[in-house]
Amino acid sequence: MIHPVAVLGGGIAGAAAALRLAQGGIRPVWIAQNRQDAFKPGEHLSAAATPLLKTLGSDAMLRSEVHRHAHSTYSAWGSDTLVERNAIIHLEGPPTVLDRGAFEDALTAQAIAAGALRIDQDVGDLRIADGLWHLDTRENRIEAGFVFDATGRKAIVASKFATRFQADKLSCQYALFTSADQDRPRPVTLIETEARGWWYMSVLADQRVIVNFYSDADLPGFANAELEENTQQTKAISAYLSDYGYKISGKTKRITANSSWIAPAIGEGWVAIGDASAAFDPLSSHGMTTALWSAIQAADAFVAKDRSRMFAYADNLAKGVEDYRTALHRVYASEKRWANCPFWARRIEASTKTD
């Protein structure tokens, strides 16, 4: 059987594309191995995602108790003073601190219920011949006329046929913290900078705390640094952890978090969406929203059989990446306290090239 379209990758972009295609009356084959990780970092969902979830008929899932509204986000960026980040009221409602696994599982269930044909395996090998994709998994060969590449930063299709640009070497160390204290912790998100990079901490709905430390992968000290010891370098975050008795639980993990993008994001018989098309610095909280947006844009263009709409998607994405890079440079350049330290000096230099 030849499928009209295959969606590769089981993250937010893949789930949203599979769902939207099915809603448009096209049954996609969706090749995506079930999630292995117990915890996936990346939980701060921007309020801008709410209208996109409404488009998908998925916004009710944000009301689940496993997520919490992110009313209080503070950052110490450019000075020691904590400043509230969400000073303006969002018409779409507040941002959300997700239980990321539960959110992805709910989107997946919705896509399958809408008719997406899920194959729970990774794509190993792939090639295109005579306008037809041959996609090999461990057990199957699947043939499809068109491919949605939603395989995240690996971009297994797009990186074969287009150039991937990498703006920096940002990497993240993260770990979960738990507390035996009975006091209910204040549900906050904190961001603060230090000489080697910046820190993020957020209280999840189940009262565990996620702590992320961002620096460049090639800088001395980052690779071997112990996250719990390192939290001593922070002010607001270490004070919060100590006030509520939080201790690290489990191992520190490491993951790439740099800005990278594909140009162009479409080609003969394929389109890239989500991180496969453009992956953003987590400081921006753009990743999940762009995964939803790109999946909807590309799926709607495919359903409408409108090639010019598909090109418009790629153009809008490229413009969005340019705007994002300019804004990000400005934010990093606004932290001047460690201008001579490599992490910050690199970013200040990059900002002088684009401004």
Task: Enumerate binding residues for ligand FAD (CB under 6 A).
Answer: 8-14, 31-33, 41-45, 122-123, 150-152, 154, 156, 172, 212, 255, 257, 274-276, 282, 285, 287-289, 291
How many CB atoms are closer than 10 A to CB 84?
Answer: 10
Least distance to ligand FAD, CB of residue 181, Å: 26
The nearer residue to ligand FAD, 219 or 337, going by C-beta atoms, is: 219
What's the rounded Cα separation, in Å, for the pair 255 and 170? 9
What's the rounded Cα separation, in Å, for the pair 260 and 171? 12
Least distance to ligand FAD, CB of residue 161, Å: 15
Give the distance, in angstroms, between the CA of residue 345 and the centroid of all CA atoms in the same chain: 26
Least distance to ligand FAD, CB of residue 115, Å: 20
Least distance to ligand FAD, CB of residue 222, Å: 14
Least distance to ligand FAD, CB of residue 151, Å: 4
Q: Of 228, 255, 225, 250, which is closest to residue 241 (Cα–Cα)?
A: 228
The nearer residue to ligand FAD, 219 or 245, going by C-beta atoms, is: 219
Contact criterion met (CB below 8 Å) for 326 and 348 = no
H or E stretch covering 312? helix 307-333
Least distance to ligand FAD, CB of residue 253, Å: 9
The nearer residue to ligand FAD, 197 or 282, going by C-beta atoms, is: 282
What's the rounded Cα separation, in Å, for the pair 87 and 95? 12
What's the rounded Cα separation, in Å, for the pair 239 and 244? 9
Based on its alpha-carbon atoms, the radius of gyration of the chain, rounded to whole angstroms, reads 21
The nearer residue to ligand FAD, 154 or 309, going by C-beta atoms, is: 154
The nearer residue to ligand FAD, 14 or 197, going by C-beta atoms, is: 14
Least distance to ligand FAD, CB of residue 127, Å: 14
The nearer residue to ligand FAD, 21 or 80, going by C-beta atoms, is: 21
The nearer residue to ligand FAD, 16 or 333, going by C-beta atoms, is: 16
**Which residues lie below 8 Å from residue 109, measured CB to CB, with a gap of 6+?**
none
Residue 266 tokens read as: 């479409």
The SS3 of residue 324 is: helix
Q: How far is CA 201 from CA 43, 78, 161, 217, 331, in A?
A: 11, 18, 38, 20, 19
